[in-house]
């Protein structure tokens, strides 16, 4: 026995601390919010942490994504893998699962099942709505969080009690801004992550989470709290009386995503499967340049574009915002694999 959690237990109490150490928390996204939340939860002793992210570490991440270093960028490590490696150094007593995957309607329920809480650390609303549908369907609390520029907001979604994200979509004051278009400073990331982790700990301690949306702009020293209980929609397709969970339908999801502000497009294949990266490297020898391969992805240059290929068949094509152009490049490259 050691006193690793003694100060936390003095505050929470022994029963709540036991709940923390028995809990299973899944974090969707291992970027800024995800890495900050993951570190706090790992240090708090969450029994099992599951990290899910589709991307890899880049130089622009280091300014605010605290789990990563320059060597992770050089190796082009997937964020979920790099985060796990760092978190294992922080707390070797907990179980950390990492999943390099794109979240969609066909895999989200399998990803989040058997977890106590879901922490939102995604970078787009489509994914959030997919997670929201699955969280409500399976009855798992979902702690929403978002930040951009110097502004952020968070609120808890408790299935059967609070409004869900679908109910509140038209009431979120984000104005379409993203970190890639207007930037973000790291302090707001830490603040929102701190609020999210606090909600997780309160939930595990047995406290009721009220439907309060908290927002703040740390640059302007502004903050607000709004009770959103009245915004619950009885006809909501996700949490209403006749729920259909529309975002769990794969047909309703795009298979081509323009990555805002990055001059890049992500493609995921219509048929799910696993690619052999070793075979890719062999097949593409002499066809691509600047190849960097690791057990999780292959990065290379092809027809004037930088491509990153993942084991699940996904690809990020840099140097274009045109989905049609990206698909042409992807299909040309895939044909070499299939020959």
Structure-block tokens of residue 278? 């070793």
Location of structure tokens 């960028």: 73
Angstrom distance (rounded) from CA 269 to CA 39: 33
The catalytic residue positions are: 179
Residue 248: DSSP 8-state: G
Determine the Cα angle at 194 with ends 141 and 218, to 5°: 120
**What is the 3 state secondary structure string of 79-142?**
HHHHHHHHHHHHCCCCEEEEEECCCCCCCHHHHHCCCCEEEECCCCHHHHHHHHHHHHHHCCCE
| Residue 245 burial (CB count, 10 A) | 18
Residue 209: DSSP 8-state: P
Structure-block tokens of residue 304? 């004037």
Structure-block tokens of residue 204? 């595990």
């Amino acid at each position: 026995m050691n006193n690793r959690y003694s100060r936390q237990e003095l505050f929470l109490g022994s029963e709540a601390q036991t709940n923390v150490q028995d809990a299973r928390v899944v974090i969707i996204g291992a970027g800024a919010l995800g890495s900050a939340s993951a570190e706090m939860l790992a240090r708090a002793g969450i029994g099992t942490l599951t990290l899910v992210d589709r991307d890899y570490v880049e130089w622009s991440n280091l300014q605010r994504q605290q789990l990563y270093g320059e060597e992770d960028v050089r190796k082009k490590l997937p964020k979920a893998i790099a985060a796990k490696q760092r978190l294992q150094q922080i707390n070797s007593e907990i179980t950390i699962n990492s999943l390099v995957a794109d979240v969609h309607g066909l895999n989200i329920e399998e990803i989040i099942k058997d977890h106590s809480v879901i922490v939102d650390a995604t970078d787009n609303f489509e994914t959030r709505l997919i997670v929201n549908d699955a969280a409500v369907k399976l009855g798992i609390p979902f702690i929403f969080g978002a930040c951009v520029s110097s502004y952020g907001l968070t609120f808890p979604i408790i299935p059967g009690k609070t409004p869900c994200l679908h109910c509140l979509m038209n009431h979120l004051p984000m104005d379409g801004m993203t970190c890639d278009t207007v930037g973000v400073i790291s302090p707001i990331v830490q603040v929102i992550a701190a609020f999210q982790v606090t909600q997780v700990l309160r939930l595990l301690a047995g406290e009721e989470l009220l439907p309060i949306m908290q927002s703040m702009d740390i640059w302007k020293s502004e903050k607000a709290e709004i009770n959103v209980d009245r915004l619950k929609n009885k006809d909501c397709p996700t949490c209403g009386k006749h729920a259909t969970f529309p975002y769990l339908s794969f047909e309703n999801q795009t298979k081509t995503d323009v990555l805002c502000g990055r001059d890049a497009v992500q493609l995921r294949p219509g048929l799910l499967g696993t690619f052999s990266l070793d075979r890719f490297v062999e097949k593409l020898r002499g066809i691509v340049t600047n190849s960097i391969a690791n057990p999780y992805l292959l990065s290379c240059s092809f027809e004037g574009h930088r491509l990153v290929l993942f084991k699940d068949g996904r690809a990020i094509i840099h140097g274009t915002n045109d989905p049609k152009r990206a698909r042409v490049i992807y299909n040309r490259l895939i044909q070499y694999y299939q020959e």
